Amino acid sequence: MVFARLGADTARPQCLKSAIASIDGLLMHPAAAPRASDESLDPKAMREPLPNAWYCVGRTASVAGEKMRAVALNGEQVVLGRGRDGALFALRDRCPHRGMALSKGKFDGDTLMCPFHGWRFSTDGRCRDVPTLSSHDASDFSRIAVQRFPIRESAGFLWVNPHLGPSDPAAVPEVPELGFTPAGSLVVELEVEASFDLTTLSLVDPGHVAFVHDSWWFRPSKELREKVKTFQPVPHGFVMTSHATTKSSPVYRLLGGVPEVEIEFRLPGVRLERIAAGEKRVANYTFATPLSANRTMLTNALYWSMPALNLLKPLARPLMRQFLTQDQQVLQHAQAGLDRKPTMVLLGQGDLPSQWYFRLKREVLEAAREGRPFENPLTRQELRWRS
* CA distance linking residue 126 with residue 122, whole number of Å: 6
Q: Rounded to the nearest 5 degrees, what angle is found at the Cα of 133, between the Cα atoms of 131 and 139?
A: 125
Report helix, strand or coil for 221: coil
Q: Assess contact for 36 and 13: CB atoms under 8 A.
A: no
Angle at the Cα of 302 from the Cα atoms of 296 and 307, rounded to 5 degrees: 160
User: Which domains does the chain show, CATH number per domain?
Assistant: 60-162 (2.102.10.10), 174-386 (3.90.380.10)
Q: What does the pLDDT read at residue 40?
A: 66
**Per-residue pLDDT reduced to its tens digit, 251-287:** 556 666 678 899 999 999 999 999 998 899 999 999 9
Q: How long is the chain? A: 387
Dump pLDDT digits (tens) for 121-148.
999 999 999 999 998 887 889 899 999 9
What are the tens digits of pLDDT across the range 84-99? 999 999 999 999 999 9
Reference 246, options 230, 225, 231, 269; nearest CA is: 225
d(CA 358, CA 46): 8
pLDDT band for position 219 (cuts 50, 70, 90): low
pLDDT higher than 70, residue 36: no
Q: What is the pTM of this model?
A: 0.87
- Amino acid at position 158, single letter: L
Confidence at residue 167, expressed as pLDDT on a 0 to 100 scale: 74
Tell me, what DSSP letter sits at residue 173?
Answer: P
Q: Determine the Cα–Cα distance for residues 97 and 158; give it in Å rounded to an integer.
A: 28
Strands of 237-310, DSSP E: 237-244, 260-266, 270-277, 280-292, 295-304
Q: Which one is predicted more confidently, 189 or 218?
A: 189
Q: What is the mean pLDDT of residues 107-113?
A: 97
156-165, 217-226, 237-246, 364-373: least confident range: 217-226
pLDDT > 90? residue 3: no
DSSP 334-349: HHHHHHHS------SG
The residue that leads in pLDDT, 115 or 165, is 115
Alpha-carbon gap, residue 112 to 96, rounded angstroms: 13
N- to C-terminal Cα separation, the chain? 26
Task: Judge whether 360 and 171 are in contact, CB under 8 Å.
Answer: no
Please determine, for residue 193, whether its predicted confidence score (pLDDT) is greater than 90.
yes
Give 87's contacts (C-beta < 8 A, 6+ positions apart).
Answer: 123
Distance of CA 12 to the CA centre of its chain: 34
Residue 157 DSSP class: E
